[in-house]
Every structure is written in structure tokens, then in C-alpha cells.
Amino acid sequence: MVANAKWLTMENHLQTDGTSTPGIPPAARLVTEVWGPFRTLLAARRNLLEIIPEAVTRRPIISGRTGGVRWHMVAEPEALRHILRDRLDIYPKSEVIKNILEPAIGQSLFIADGDHWRWQRRAAAPVFRRRSVDGLAPIMSAAADTACCRILAGSGRAELHGEMVQTTFDVIGGVLLAGERKLDKEFVHGAIEAFLASAARVSVLDIAGLATWIPRPRQFFRPRSLKVLRRIADDVIADRLKQRDRPDRDFLDTLLDGMDPESGRRMTPGELRDNLLAFIVAGHETTALALAWSFFLCAFDVQVQKRLRAEAAAVLGGRTAGAEDVPNLPYTRSVIEEALRLYPPAAILSRTACAHDQICGREIRAGDTVILPIYALHRHRDLWDSPDSFDPGRFSGDTVIERYAYLPFGDGPRVCIGASFAMLEAVIVLATLMSRFRFRRIRGLDPKPVMVLTLRPSGGVHLAVERI
């Protein structure tokens, strides 16, 4: 995990300060000086983005050492292809991030490695095929309508991050657990938030690079609600296994039917629980963030908002967007893609080398931490024109983006399995709301990008809302 990369040495350069300047939306403050481990720990617990060196937005690789741990921060497309695709076998996920997430989602396919990951991926793949995903669009459209009703009932202002969390939770609840009453949405969301707030943070032991089997403080402060949530999920799966011929089948039923075509292996109840919770966490958090930042950026740039609204109005004619409309909403998609470039939910990825290798001419030893700073990659001076500016035109028309220069969903065999689901949902929700409302910034309330496990808008996305 990035927490192992703490003592960063680089040249002094001007740094962004976390505020917006004319034409430039808010950015994180990147490191421009030598920091010791203690200062780095404080910064990492406050905002992981703030331990990224500014120099990595201009160089292919930066290396260093923290205690006994060597680390390398990589922001070069061919090197990232090498790590994520060509030599995936020697770059498994960091043990630190596994230890943080395992209490919540176990050895699900989101953190498993090797053969245990491969068979789970094959078993779950049918759920995310294009036809299956498009068939879920009515649930997304209904959630967009419900969000419109909530905003209409407001006072002319809305906190769009919270609204989008609720909206995407409505979607994931309808998709995963159609009619399931045992998993209360408010309780589930509260349990996840409590876990992220209390346990999903790096510790000084992570920064020192000490063995992951040494207990961390977070292990003693896991919220009781997380244990309750896992127990309830076990009960849901046990009940569902007793009623396999349900007429109103949902995602969980499909997952229960899932089988690895190569080995014939099916998930055990415990594996089903872990993957169910993983899909709940990932299935709403990342899409909600992409949408929240998209709304803020549309309020930030009035001309972009006008163009997006004109497209949505022409295509939808006042109705709610559906899967059939998405191919006709290219600019809406471009806005979301640009929001994911500026504020990627998974803004930092981390791997631990398990064999000797070479990246960008740099020696990589077994045990080295290899960090993929997606936030910095998406703002790299050699890869993007005016990288800190908001410009959906980068993704419009015939523009070609170098594949490994843009990684909001990762890439290679471990590319996010739900990427097409997330993009379909985001386009439907953004187009529907933009066709019905006008959004404006509120002075002094611009969000700040802050990352703990995901990149969130600190303070929320507070916007003035006007019905059209």
C-alpha cells in the first residue's frame, strides 16, 4: 500500500494548495520537500494524496526507502502495462491493503490473488456481461427518478455527494437484493462508513514497513456494526440457498448459480458473503463519487453544463434516460470520463513485487513496494495538455487516449469487473438530472479532494439547484 512509501525526496517546485483557481478545479497539495516518517504518517491519515510527490507528475518513476522498505512510484504507461498486464503474476496486491479490507470483504475477488482470484473472476463474469448489465438499466432509471424527487423536495440547495450515495445505493440494493428486507440500506451504509472511519486507515507500523502479521491499532477498533452486517449477510445467503426457484431472481441468485467453467468450482457460503459485501461496497461508492464530482465540475464550468443539458434535452425530451439512450449521450459520457481523470475514486494502487524485475531502467527487488499513483498519472505533464484543467473534449470525437495513461478502472486481467455497469449507471443518472435541473456553485463551499481508501469530496458537494 502507498503507506509504505513515505520518505519522498525531490526537487522543490510550486505545489497545488487544495483550492481552485480561475479555470482550474480544486486539486490536492502534492509533496515538494523531504518529509520524515512522522510527518508523512500524519499526512497519510489526513489525505493519502498529500504524500504523492509533485515530481511524479513530470517523471516516469521515483524511488526511495522508508526504514527497511524500498518503494517505487510509477507513472509511465508502458511500465504500468508491464505491472498490470504483462507481469501481473509478480505484482500481487499489497498486503497492507489486503489487511485493511479483509475484515469487511474477506478474500473476495477484489483483494484475492493468484488462482483464488482467477476462479472467482471466472465464476462472477456472467453477471457483468453486456446483456445482463443492460437488463439492469430500469433499476438505474428508477433510482434517477427518485433522486429527482428528493431534490425537488429540497430548499433550492442539495448536497450532491450524499444524494449520489443514496442514489447508487438504491441501484445496488435493487440489483443485488431485489425485495430483500434483511439488509436495511441505512444500516449497511452506516456499517461501511463506520468501518472506513475507524479501521480503514494506515498506521505507523505500515509506514515503517513492519511485517503485516504484527497487529495494527485498527484491528482493535473494528465497529460492531461490521460484525453484525457480516452475520446478516450470512443469514441472507442461507435463506436464499433454501429458495433457489424464486421467480424474482436478482444478482445474488446469479452469483449463487455462478461456476468456474474451468474447474467447476462454486462459491461457498462464506465466499458468497464476502463477494456480496464487496459488490455492495464497490458497487455504490465509486459510482457515487464519479457522479458527485461530475455535478461539481458541471457547476464549475457553466458552458460544459449548458452543452450537457442540451444533449440530454434533445435525446430524452423530458423523460428518464434508459440503456437505449446511452449511445446517443456521448458528451455526457465524456464529462464523466473527465471527472474520473481529475478525481479517480481509486486514486492510488499498490503492489508488492514478489520477484526481481526492472521498470523504467530501475531495479525492482522482491519485497519492494510498487505504487501506481493514478491521481498523478492523470495529471502528468508529458501525457496531458493542461492536465489540471477540466476539459471533457479530451474524450470527445476521434480523440485517442493512450490506454495506460488513463486508468480509472485499472486495466489488464484485473480491470474492474463492474466498469460497464458503473458507466451505464452514471450516464443514466447524470443525463436525467441535468435535463431537469440547473446547478450552481455556492461561494466558499467548493469540495477538497481527500483520499483515505477512495478519493472523496471533503465537505460534500453543496450546490444551488434550480428546476428547469
Each domain of the chain, given as residue ranges in start order, spans 2-467
Average pLDDT over residues 186-198: 74
Average pLDDT over residues 344-368: 94
pLDDT reported for residue 17: 45
Instruction: Provide the 8-state DSSP code for 425.
Output: H
Give yes or no for residue 296 having a pLDDT over 80. yes
Weakest-pLDDT range from 67-81, 208-222, 272-286, 445-459: 208-222
Helices (H), 20-81: 37-46, 77-81
Average pLDDT over residues 192-200: 69
Average pLDDT over residues 330-345: 98
pLDDT-based confidence at 441, cuts 50/70/90? very high
What are 153-171's pLDDT values in tens digits?
Answer: 988 999 999 999 999 989 9
pTM of the model as a whole: 0.90
- Bigger pLDDT: 78 or 217? 78
Give yes or no for residue 10 having a pLDDT over 80. no
The answer to whether 72 and 359 are in contact (CB under 8 A) is yes
The answer to whether 353 and 366 are in contact (CB under 8 A) is yes
pLDDT-based confidence at 311, cuts 50/70/90? very high
Give yes or no for residue 204 having a pLDDT over 80. no
pLDDT-based confidence at 18, cuts 50/70/90? very low
What are 373-420's pLDDT values in tens digits?
Answer: 999 999 999 999 999 999 999 998 788 899 999 999 999 999 999 999
Selected from 3.30.565.10, 1.10.630.10, 3.90.600.10, 3.30.70.100, the CATH number assigned to the domain covering 2-467 reads: 1.10.630.10
Q: Which residue reads 462454486 in cell numbers?
A: 266
What is the bridge-based pairing of β-strands 455-458 and 357-359? Answer: unpaired
Residue from 324, 301, 325, 297 nearest 311 by CA: 325
Mean pLDDT of the chain: 86
The answer to whether 409 and 423 are in contact (CB under 8 A) is no
pLDDT reported for residue 365: 95
What are 47-93's pLDDT values in tens digits?
Answer: 889 889 999 999 999 998 866 678 899 999 999 999 999 999 999 98
